[in-house]
Amino acid sequence: MAIHIYRHQLRRFARNLSTAVDGCPNRGFAKRYPAAATQVLTVPPFSYDEVIANPSHPFVSPGQDESLERYIKWRGWNINSILSEHDLENESISEAAIGLLSHPLTFPLTLGRHWTKLSGNTHAARLCCVGARAECTLPNKYWRELLITTLAIDTESDALTTIDFVGPDVPSQLKSKTITLDDDESTPKQLPKRELTMNFHSLHLHEVVLKILKSQPESSTEQIKNVWDGFVLFNPGLGHPNLTKHWKPTLKFLIGTGKPILFTAHSTIDAERDRQVLEKSLADCDDDRIVQYLVNPYASRMEFVDPFSKDHVLSPNHSYFLLK
């Protein structure tokens, strides 16, 4: 039953991706070849011996020879074999298939790439995903990739992680859940414990903070600042004309915590607008740190049209900046 439900989710996911930018080859692949797309989106089994023990994994030295293609190969996705099975052996089709897979992997891999700096090397890290949207409904099978990347980074220690997804666009029906990492190949080796607990709050961040204060009236300002070890804002649109004024008080709070913050942006244009707003917010807090967005090797390669500007093409997590 669980496998049937999972496959149904994959088919629905592949169909939904076909509804945005016309002409995007990755989306066109899902639309024209739904059976192959479903296989491409199927997550391979996890085996400690085959994955973590493989010294070529891309999280040994971030920044060196990083690519989504390398990660996919390391994790056991055999895209060429899948395409061959469907008589689709073609370089452009292969690129489109990988582009399709980039979309559900962008959130866990972008987060995993910066995990050590965000979590502060604590083995019970608690992060807050501010302004959460699409990442909330990502199937567990993809979020499990975050646990695999953290195990690749540290193969000795247990890690119990909590992510609080906060924002008015978080679906109210979502309930807290915990996913774990088990060896699908039943290797007898005892693995370090990996757990990811996800909580969902259909509220603005200041409302969540207010709830904490009401439930713990003895809490000090410093204690509130230390509720989370780090923050992540996926594609927030800090500098978007329709959104920027709503982010000002949130940015002031986040900067004031002194915690590391990972920002991503939808495009070069989006990143430049966000950079200007973020530098202004830092300056208002007497903080002279320089903001520089870089291209994210684990960006989604899917293309979407900005709902506020039809000439602006977006790709989730195109760019990133880590404030630390």
- Average pLDDT along the chain, 324 residues, taken 10 residues at a time: 44 44 80 96 90 73 76 94 94 96 97 92 92 96 95 87 97 97 68 93 94 81 88 96 90 96 97 97 95 96 86 94 96
The torsion defined by the Cα of 66, 70, 74 and 80, in degrees rounded to 10, comes to 170
d(CA 121, CA 230): 11
pLDDT at residue 209, as a whole number: 92
Contact 123, 161 (CB under 8 A): no
Q: Which residues of 155-181 are buried (b: 16+ CB within 10 A; e: fewer)?
A: eeeebbbbbbbbbeebeeebeeeebeb
Contact 89, 80 (CB under 8 A): yes
pLDDT at residue 109, as a whole number: 96
d(CA 123, CA 194): 10
pLDDT at residue 216, as a whole number: 83
Label residue 131 left, alpha or beta by phi (over 0 means left) and psi (-120 to 50 means alpha). Answer: left
Q: Which residue has the tokens 């859940």?
A: 177
pLDDT at residue 221, as a whole number: 74
